[in-house]
Amino acid sequence: MNINFVNRIAALLGFAGLCIAGTGRAQASLVNCSFAGTVDVGGAPAVFAPSIVDGSSVTGTFQYDTTTPADAGGDPSASSFTGAITGFTFNVADGGLIASFTRAPGGGSNIQMYNDLGSPNFDHISLVPFFPELTGDQPSGYFVQFAVLRFDDTSQSVFGTAASLPGSLDFSQFTGGGFFLFLEDTHSEATATISMTITSLTTDSITEPVVPEPATLSLMGLGLAGVGALRRRRAAVSA
């Protein structure tokens, strides 16, 4: 068999392997979570009845990108991660979808983290989606301004640093969680806050960067061997 032909085929296979490896790597590590809870007693202003009342069941989902770097000034004790939130929804049992999130370039929505900070010291993480990335169906004519979904750990054991986002969240590691939705009447400019206690939080899935399969690595190796053989052949002909 023609050796030159074999070397060319090997080079082509290697090129294919490089292409597969390049397209197979994900650019982000996304953590997908869901949560549930209830509206606090006195946590729902009367203006939102009957859609949202004290004791209403709430559910929601959120997604964040763990590769988002901390904002300037972040450190192991306290950091903010602007742009880390990639998805968010909030629902009330009788009120349906109340708010949803669409990521936008330059949006100010962020995640805030504390590690062994405060008095008394505690660990804390909160998601803060803002309008216009956070929008809603304007319950009772009120416009969603922003939300705060927070989880606290007074035992100071859940986080070892606030300089990077966690790869998952486990509600059993926190000592409490709450959700606050801030709204404003589009006509009177009156403001209202709905407060809730979070009772569950689960990490549903994690999208990790893809590592090339062994077959892809083999193609790459074969191609590199072919390229080397071609170079040696050309050098011999030139001599």
| Average pLDDT of span 64-92 | 94
Max alpha carbon distance in the chain (Å)?
Answer: 91
What Rg, from alpha-carbon coordinates, does the chain have? 26
Q: What percentage of the chain reaches a pLDDT higher than 70?
A: 75
Phi/psi of residue 189, nearest 5 degrees: 65, 15
- Taking the C-alpha atoms of residue 97 and residue 101, their distance in angstroms, rounded to an integer, is 11
Per the CB < 8 A criterion, the answer to whether 59 and 204 are in contact is: no
DSSP assignment of 32-79 equals: EEEEEEEEPTT-S-GGGTTTS-TT-EEEEEEEEETTPPPPTT--SSEE
Q: How confident is the model at residue 227 (pLDDT cuts 50, 70, 90)?
A: very low
User: Which pLDDT does position 207 carry in this prediction?
Assistant: 82
| Average pLDDT of span 12-35 | 61
Check whether 13 has a pLDDT greater than 70. no
- Which of 108 and 140 is assigned the larger pLDDT? 108
Q: How confident is the model at residue 137 (pLDDT cuts 50, 70, 90)?
A: confident
Check whether 150 has a pLDDT greater than 70. yes
Amino acid at 29: S
- Taking the C-alpha atoms of residue 87 and residue 97, their distance in angstroms, rounded to an integer, is 14
Q: Which range is least confidently modeled, 8-12, 105-109, 114-118?
A: 8-12
Q: Which residues pair with 202 in a beta bridge?
A: 34
| Average pLDDT of span 15-29 | 51
Q: How confident is the model at residue 224 (pLDDT cuts 50, 70, 90)?
A: low
- Taking the C-alpha atoms of residue 222 and residue 226, their distance in angstroms, rounded to an integer, is 6
Phi/psi of residue 45, nearest 5 degrees: -55, 145
Highest-confidence range of 88-97, 126-135, 201-210, by mean pLDDT? 126-135
User: Which pLDDT does position 233 carry in this prediction?
Assistant: 54
Per the CB < 8 A criterion, the answer to whether 174 and 159 are in contact is: no
User: Which pLDDT does position 12 carry in this prediction?
Assistant: 47
- Taking the C-alpha atoms of residue 102 and residue 132, their distance in angstroms, rounded to an integer, is 8
* Token duo for residue 225: 């061997």
Residue 209 neighbours by CB distance under 10 Å: 11
Residue 23 neighbours by CB distance under 10 Å: 8
Per the CB < 8 A criterion, the answer to whether 66 and 79 are in contact is: no
- The H or E element containing residue 218 is helix 214-238
pLDDT, tens only, 24-68: 444 569 999 999 999 999 999 998 888 899 999 999 999 999 999
pLDDT, tens only, 169-219: 999 999 999 999 999 987 777 899 999 999 999 999 888 765 555 554 554
